[in-house]
Structure 1
Amino acid sequence: MTASPKERTPADMPHRDIVREGESLILRLSGSWRTNRPFPDPAPVLAALAATPPPKSLGFDTAGVTGWDSLFLTHCRALLALAGQYRVAVDFSGLPPGVERLLDLARKVPERQGAARTAKQAPFFERLGDLGLAAYQALINLLDFVGDVTLACLALLRGKAVFQRSGLASLIYQASVEALPIVSLISLLVGLILAFVGAIQLSQFGAQIYVSTIVGIAMVRVMGAIMTGIIMAGRTGAAYAAELGTMQVNEEIDALRTFGFSPTQFLVLPRLIALVLMMPLLCVYADLMGIVGGFIVGVFMLKINPVQYLTHTWQSVPLANFWIGLIHSTVFGVLVAMAGCYRGMRCGRSALAVGQATTSAVVTSILAIIIATAVITVACNIIGV
């Protein structure tokens, strides 16, 4: 049996002796291990664990400990972490009973999602496999959610869907009237930008009047719907994800299931209805504001007659473009509502998870809007409209 040299320490100061007994490493602790006293450096323990031959077990002798607090518990956890790095078994029987129970409780509590990890990064193929499994599970969850929403819509058509009508009215107000200021500003600026860029090029050929055509077709056919969809994704879709995510954290969704209510009908369906109804109206309003932006540039910058500008806009924008824009906006309403509610319903049980769900809802909505725009554009090109 060998022991490290004892250090001269004042009375009642925390002290540690490292004793090697065969294949076991014993830490003899004495003194008062409290916050207001300096603790011994753990480096000698690390060196003893890394010695050759390595110990197979780590034990404690705390008969000389006169007092301890939470910092002593933290110190013990740090020592246990060192032992885990070298795969050394730990015997807790020598610790004070209170410390042993607290350490056992700390081991049973799972690590919170997002907490810092010190473990080494997994191999590449293991991470690739985990990514594949996560993608597969995400697809299953998405199909399950879409199926629930489909059943809720069928229940609505049969008149058996259960949700608060007053809540639907509030959601419609939030997705329409409250969204008008930001939709007005963004659409007006987009119209100004389109007209300004077009004016720079068309003025070289003396064809400034065609600025009205560029702004009118671009806004009515696709830009009004896209800008409205992106605005609603960042405003309303994120709000849906945050609201439902907070309800998930507070176990309100579980309470609805306990009382026999369908969370999809009670929470998701009203939000889906509100956006599907309001997105086409907001799109028409955004089209008008974009045309107003182009009108400002055409009249005040290019000196085009106001009546001539409006007449040319009316004549150069086919009615088919208006219906295509409405189709875009309706699809975007479905996608934004579905993305926001899906991320909220699948949120974790922590404040961090709510933030992640909100961010994911916005990113998913915008990505879905871009993909849907490409699909609708190709489909319109195939059918010749």
Structure 2
Amino acid sequence: MNEPPQASLSDDSDHLLISGDWSDSQLPVLNPLFNTLLETDGVLRVDVGSVTQWDPRLEAKLLQLQRLAFAKQRDIEFLNAPDSQSQLMQLATAVAPYCGAANKGADLFSFKTLRSALADIGDDLLESLEFLGATTSAVFRTLLGRSGMRRREFLESLAQAGPQAIGIITLTSTLVGMILAYLGAAQLQQFGAAVFVADLVAIGMLREMGPLMTAVVMAGRTGAAYAAQLSTMQTNEEIDAISTLGINPLEFLVVPRVLALILMMPLLVVYADALGIVGGAVVAGGMGVTPLQYVSQLGTAITLTHFAVGIVKGLIFAALIATAGCRAGMNAGRNSEAVGRATTEAVVTAVVYLIVADAAINILCQLLSI
């Protein structure tokens, strides 16, 4: 017959002896003994060598005691434990316990959390600058004819960044031009100056909406595609294979995509500007502005300065989109979830880059009276 479950403390209360059959016992009786044991000094010792029958609830209770001891920075030893129980305890404590969302929320506005967030932003910025520098160097080597870029890869990237994007650019640019015309005409008609809607649409499309809306569309389309392609290659270890062959992955994979988008972006911006102006003409015609008046007003509104500002924005936006997409893909993890994270990161990062760059360029143009 098995011995009944027993638990007792030594005279100095730093040694707990557990014995007997615990397969069908009331474990709460151990709580006061645990509390007394934790109040003592020195190493906590629990002798379980006399336990004749183990129960999973007893093991969970001992694990709870161990975590309480670790929380109070106390050392604890389980004496005479069977090998199976020792291995189970080691396995259960191999990973730190999950602290829970509530504890994280309590530290959301702590100084430590803020410092960690700022450090992460700084590390991310430094990593982005490092990747941009490496990519720029690889682009220069390619332009000098000293890189491993394949012509086929470059042509495929050109098709992806250019002709395949015509449909969505056509739709968005035409609608943006119509929206600009509606907004302007509604106000200008009050002063009998509806003809100046041509100036509003032309300048707005050339300097701002043409390059910006094209860049946003390309960030969600081409930038995300770059990230998905490269992150999938990272998951399949294709990039590692390229490096093993002695080929620079930046020159082989990143440079063709960056150059293709930089070359195609100005053409897409010009195409978007033209469609936006056409969309504005449709709305202006409905407001009583004749085609001759609209075209005549365009002649005075469109200048080389406005056109050049839009093209420069397009070039800068293209470099930012391609860099954000390729960086997210090259730094992705090696599982399917990482592909989704890389794609999301590419789009979000590219949009943030676009907004910041657009604001900076506008401020610079204002300061230089351009």
In the superposition, the TM-score normalised over structure 1's length comes to: 0.78
Give the Cα separation in 2 of the matches to 1:218 and 1:187: 12
Alignment-mate amino acid for residue 316 of structure 1:
A
**Is the 8 Å Cα contact of residues 45 and 79 (structure 2) preserved in structure 1?**
no
Alignment-mate amino acid for residue 359 of structure 1:
T
Shift in alpha-carbon separation, 1:54–1:241, aligned structure 2, 3 A:
farther
Give the Cα separation in 2 of the matches to 1:320 and 1:110: 61
- 1:7 match: none
Q: Does 1:316 align with 2:316?
A: no
Q: Deviations over 1:344-372 (max 9, x none)?
A: 33334555554444333323222221222
The Cα shift of 1:76 comes to 6.8
Q: Deviations over 1:43-66 (max 9, x none)?
A: 666654444752543647375347
Q: Deviations over 1:213-238 (max 9, x none)?
A: 11111001221100111112222223
- 2:44 match: 57
- 1:3 match: none
Give the Cα separation in 1 of the matches to 2:239 and 2:204: 43
Give the Cα separation in 2 of the matches to 1:39 and 1:351: 47
Give the Cα separation in 2 of the matches to 1:221 and 1:53: 71
- 1:373 match: 358
Q: RMSD value over aligned CA atoms?
A: 3.8
The Cα shift of 1:79 comes to 5.6
Shift in alpha-carbon separation, 1:216–1:106, aligned structure 2, 3 A:
farther
The Cα shift of 1:151 comes to 1.9
- 1:24 match: 15
Q: Which SS does the other structure have where 1:61 is aligned?
A: strand
Q: Deviations over 1:174-208 (max 9, x none)?
A: 22233223222222221121111111101111111
Q: What are structure 2's unaligned runs of at least 5 residues?
A: none
Q: Which SS does the other structure have where 1:304 is aligned?
A: coil
- 1:201 match: 187
Q: Deviations over 1:314-343 (max 9, x none)?
A: 442113211211111010000111122223
Q: Which SS does the other structure have where 1:159 is aligned?
A: coil
In the superposition, the TM-score normalised over structure 2's length comes to: 0.81
Give the Cα separation in 1 of the matches to 2:150 and 2:85: 52
- 2:230 match: 244
Give the Cα separation in 1 of the matches to 2:216 and 2:162: 15
Give the Cα separation in 1 of the matches to 2:299 and 2:25: 82
Give the Cα separation in 2 of the matches to 1:75 and 1:352: 36
Q: Which SS does the other structure have where 2:9 is aligned?
A: strand
Counting only pairs closer than 5 Å after superposition, residues 1-385 of structure 1 correspond to structure 2 as 19-21=8-10, 22-25=13-16, 48-51=33-36, 54=39, 56-57=43-44, 59=46, 61=48, 63-65=51-53, 80-91=66-77, 96-98=82-84, 100-101=86-87, 103-104=89-90, 107=93, 121=107, 124-299=110-285, 301-349=286-334, 351=336, 353-385=338-370
Q: Which SS does the other structure have where 2:191 is aligned?
A: coil
Identity percentage of aligned residues: 36
Q: Deviations over 1:231-277 (max 9, x none)?
A: 12222223323333344444443333333222221222122112111
**Is the 8 Å Cα contact of residues 173 and 275 (structure 2) preserved in structure 1?**
yes
Q: How many residues are treated as equivalent by the alignment?
A: 363
**Is the 8 Å Cα contact of residues 328 and 373 (structure 1) preserved in structure 2?**
yes
**Is the 8 Å Cα contact of residues 19 and 28 (structure 1) preserved in structure 2?**
no
**Is the 8 Å Cα contact of residues 187 and 224 (structure 1) preserved in structure 2?**
yes
Shift in alpha-carbon separation, 1:50–1:257, aligned structure 2, 3 A:
farther
Alignment-mate amino acid for residue 153 of structure 1:
V
**Is the 8 Å Cα contact of residues 37 and 44 (structure 2) preserved in structure 1?**
no
The Cα shift of 1:121 comes to 3.9
Q: Which SS does the other structure have where 1:260 is aligned?
A: coil
Q: Which SS does the other structure have where 1:203 is aligned?
A: helix
